[in-house]
Structure 1
Amino acid sequence: MSDEKVQIGPGAQTRRALLAGAGAVGAAVVLSACGGDDDTDSGSAPTSGGPGATGPGDTPGSSSALALTTDIPVGGGAVYASKGVVITQPEAGTFKGFDPICTHQRCPVSNVDGGTINCTCHNSKFSITDGSVKQGPATKPLAAKEITVDGDRISLA
């Protein structure tokens, strides 16, 4: 007797079909248990300080400071994705802020390196001085963000 031909009544399923259906239901239950309602910040991007780095400006007691001036290298910068800003220092003592979202397809920029703010989704590069496009496919500059420097602390304006 074959699995394919055993029928219990009118319109009955084969044992193989019933077992496959039960397996599919079990898999759906397991997969739905893997999902969660956590509202974690999945929009953060690696920074020039390493994965998940946000800089010493996020220490307790300095909630308004994004970073310290010493965190931002001259000719470079850092991405603070969770704070919604990229901070650069194109020349000593001059700090600039930019939106951390690439203007090409809205990917978060990933790092500041080689004098540019870099989006690794499609390799767009932006100037650390004014956010202008240095290499496409992006065609629009990064939007400027107002920042203030008070002593050694950098904050959003």
Structure 2
Amino acid sequence: MAGTRDSGGAVGAVGRRTVIAAAGGAGLAAAVLTACGGSDGSGAQGGAGSAGTDAGTVIASTADIPEGGGAVVGGLVVTQPRAGEFKAFSAKCTHAGCAVKDVVDGVIRCPCHGSAFDASDGTVKTGPATAPLPATAIAVKDGSIVLA
């Protein structure tokens, strides 16, 4: 696509390569933001993300959350620190906003920079994060974990 020049010699239309390069850069930026908890609430999120946000919304079955472990469900990480005790926290790491990956031996782990959080209360066990994971109110009803 050729540009047209005005009397001052400036190109009046943007070239196709410029548009394609800009679109590719925007796509890359969107991918990076999504991987590190983008602002759209998906990925590693401050809210419940795809798990829903309304009280009573079922987010997991108690059978799916292992004792001493947990699972990332949408924008939440749901844990079972002790038999029959369930907790939920934002799955968005407080260091750089990445999604936490898993819960092993009572520790919620973030794969981006190595932060680790206590599965019973969300407090920082290992930095670089300095703030705990925000808790989310949940309840257990008929074998399901629901938002409270």
TM-score by length of 1: 0.62
Distance 1:42 1:146 in 2: 18
Match of 1:77 in 2: 70
Distance 2:129 2:123 in 1: 10
Match of 1:126 in 2: 117
Question: For each residue in 1:109-141, what CA deviation from the matched residue of structure 2 results, as whole angstroms up to 9, or x when unmatched?
Answer: 222223211111211000111111111111221
Backbone CA RMSD of aligned residues: 3.3
Residue type of the alignment partner of 2:67: V
Q: Percent identity?
A: 47
Q: Which runs of 4+ in 1 moved over 4 A?
A: 31-36
Match of 1:64 in 2: 57
Residue 115 of structure 1, aligned match among 106, 116, 127:
106
Distance 2:147 2:100 in 1: 18
Pairwise mapping of residues 34-113 of structure 1 onto structure 2 (< 5 A)?
Answer: 43-44=42-43, 64-81=57-74, 84-113=75-104
> Does the alignment pair 1:25 with 2:1?
no
List alignment gaps of at least 5 residues for structure 2: 1-7, 28-39, 45-49
Do the aligned partners of 1:110 and 1:118 also contact (CA within 8 Å) in 2? yes
Q: CA 1:76/1:28 → structure 2, altered by over 3 Å: closer, same or farther? A: same
Do the aligned partners of 1:43 and 1:108 also contact (CA within 8 Å) in 2? no
Q: Which has the larger radius of gyration?
A: 1
Residue type of the alignment partner of 1:120: P
TM-score by length of 2: 0.66
TM-superposed deviation, 1:103: 1.6
Residue type of the alignment partner of 2:105: G
Aligned residues: 120
